[in-house]
């Protein structure tokens, strides 16, 4: 039955390249060029497999799968392959918070400690000895707010982006989100587990688990039938394996006999390209999807406009290079909203996304972007470590260039 589904989906994707009146479309030559590029990338060993999608506000223009879902078992990638989307969970959590803001249950400039008391009185590192891992601290000049958490200006950090966090974690056995802050809230941008705290706020305020809240308030209305923190046994055969790029080859890690969920606001969801395309369509439609409104247009504008003032998105160093290379594209120039990195340079001349596009990704090299000016969104799902490795990102950029080269508006 699954193979029948795939063939129908591919036909549907090709038919949809014609678009609708007044909506952007991907011409047939573009769809063919993208498919050839992805197949060549798989054949050359650049990526083990990929599922990619392009959507406008109303319909999917392109949805294709290439390579292997499970190389060891010789299972082909399929349009309905399920991916660990990791930090592509963050925009979902950010939308959940904005729903609560709209309802007056959370305020963006509230101290986050009102909802998560462990954040109250959090101090800032004043000095740090990288030889022995000892740190001195001082009181923060202002408390962490909900806005700081959404904008990644809280002062928290991940181990793979901060050697200081690694050293403190090793010496003090403190989880990153429980450590002293790297800087005063609101004074710098640094990618962090702040969205995990936002997930805690969703649970505290709603009185529900984040799984229950997301299913009822987002995944159900958007018909994201394969998106969840949990993976039922009947879907485990559709879960992609993870590869690691070593010096000479891609090395595959077989999937475990049973999937163990990770339930956090900053990661843990599994999803498909088709499901996430619906989430993107909702954003392109300023918060609504097929007559169901999740966010107001004002909330979407807030989330996707500069919320960090004169600050810019900084380049995160490759502290743990087997986990992540330095990232992201646009560092030093781009801004950040409430859950999204915002492109500040117009890429029209280079066949790239336009200024005002917004994006994020997941550690296993799942990526998406939404381009409101051109009315399209794109999803690129692989499962290859390290994050932002040059080969995987080069394939994604080729996808982007071909999309905009062949997009009719």
Mean pLDDT score, 65-84: 98
How far is Cα 380 from Cα 61, in angstroms, rounded to an integer? Answer: 14
Task: Indicate whether 181 pLDDT > 60.
Answer: yes
Task: Indicate whether 2 pLDDT > 90.
Answer: no
How far is Cα 245 from Cα 241, in angstroms, rounded to an integer? Answer: 13
Neighbour tally for 170: CB within 10 Å: 11
Confidence at 10, pLDDT banded by 50, 70, 90? very low
Mean pLDDT score, 73-91: 98
Mean pLDDT score, 123-136: 87
The pLDDT score that the predictor gives to residue 172 is: 83
Distances (CA, A) of 269 to 92, 143, 214, 364: 9, 30, 11, 12
Phi, psi values for residue 198, rounded to 5°: -60, -35
Q: Domain for residue 277, yes or no?
A: no
Q: Domain for residue 162, yes or no?
A: yes
Q: Domain for residue 155, yes or no?
A: yes
Q: Domain for residue 91, yes or no?
A: yes
Q: Domain for residue 129, yes or no?
A: yes
Q: Domain for residue 240, yes or no?
A: no
Task: Indicate whether 336 pLDDT > 50.
Answer: yes
The pLDDT score that the predictor gives to residue 174 is: 86
CATH code for the domain in which residue 159 is found: 3.40.710.10
The pLDDT score that the predictor gives to residue 20 is: 62
Strand partners, 51: 65, 381
Q: Is 397 exposed, middle or buried (0-12, 13-18, 19+ CB in 10 A)?
A: middle
How far is Cα 213 from Cα 223, in angstroms, rounded to an integer? Answer: 14
Q: Domain for residue 322, yes or no?
A: yes
Task: Indicate whether 1 pLDDT > 70.
Answer: no
pLDDT in tens, 17-35: 555 668 999 999 999 999 9
Least confident of 45-59, 122-136, 240-254, 288-302: 122-136
What is the span of the domain harbouring residue 316? 87-230+286-363
Mean pLDDT score, 44-64: 98
Mean pLDDT score, 373-383: 98
Q: Domain for residue 62, yes or no?
A: no
The pLDDT score that the predictor gives to residue 21 is: 61
pLDDT in tens, 303-323: 999 999 999 999 999 999 999
Phi-psi region of 233 (alpha: psi -120 to 50; beta: other; left: phi over 0): alpha
Least confident of 60-64, 167-171, 373-377: 167-171
Q: Residues of the chain with pLDDT > 70: what percent?
A: 95
Contacts of 311 (CB under 8 A, 6+ apart): 153, 187, 188, 189, 335, 336
Strand partners, 367: 361, 380
Helix axis angle, 2-15 relative to 28-43, nearest 10°? 130
Structural domains of the chain, count: 1
């Amino acid at each position: 039955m699954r193979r029948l589904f795939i063939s129908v989906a591919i036909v549907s994707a090709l038919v949809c390249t014609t678009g609708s009146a007044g909506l952007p479309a991907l011409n047939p030559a573009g769809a063919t060029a993208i498919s050839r590029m992805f197949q060549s990338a798989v054949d050359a060993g650049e990526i083990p497999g990929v599922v990619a999608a392009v959507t406008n506000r109303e319909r999917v223009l392109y949805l294709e799968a290439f390579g292997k879902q499970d190389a060891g078992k010789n299972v082909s990638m399929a349009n309905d392959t399920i991916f660990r989307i990791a930090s592509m969970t963050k925009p979902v959590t950010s939308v959940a918070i904005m729903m609560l803001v709209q309802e007056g249950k959370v305020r963006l400039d509230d101290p986050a400690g009102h909802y998560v008391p462990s954040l109250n009185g959090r101090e800032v590192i004043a000095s740090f000895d990288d030889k022995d891992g000892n740190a001195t601290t001082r009181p923060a000049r202002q408390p962490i707010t909900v806005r700081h958490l959404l904008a990644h200006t809280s002062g928290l950090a991940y181990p793979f982006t901060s050697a200081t966090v690694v050293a403190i974690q090793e010496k003090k056995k403190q989880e990153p989100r429980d450590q002293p802050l790297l800087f005063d809230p609101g004074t710098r941008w640094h990618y962090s587990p702040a969205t995990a705290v936002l997930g805690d706020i969703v649970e505290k305020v709603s009185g529900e688990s984040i799984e229950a809240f997301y299913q009822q308030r987002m995944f159900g209305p958007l018909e994201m039938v394969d998106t969840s923190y949990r993976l039922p046994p009947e879907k485990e055969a559709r879960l992609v394996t993870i590869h690691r790029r070593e010096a000479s080859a891609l090395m595959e890690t077989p999937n475990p006999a049973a999937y163990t969920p990770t339930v956090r606001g900053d990661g843990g969801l599994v999803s498909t390209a088709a499901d996430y395309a619906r989430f993107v369509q909702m954003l392109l439609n300023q918060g609504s999807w097929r007559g169901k409104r999740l966010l107001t247009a004002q909330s979407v504008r807030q989330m996707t406009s500069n919320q960090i003032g004169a600050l810019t998105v900084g380049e995160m160093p490759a502290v743990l290079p087997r986990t992540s290379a330095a990232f992201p594209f646009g560092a030093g120039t781009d801004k950040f909203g409430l859950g999204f990195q915002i492109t500040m340079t117009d890429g029209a001349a280079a066949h790239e996304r336009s200024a005002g596009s917004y994006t994020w990704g997941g550690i296993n090299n799942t990526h998406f972007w939404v381009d409101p000016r051109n009315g399209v969104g794109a999803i690129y799902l692989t499962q290859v470590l390290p994050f932002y490795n040059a080969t995987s990102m080069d394939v994604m950029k080729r996808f982007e260039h071909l999309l905009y080269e062949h997009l009719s508006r």
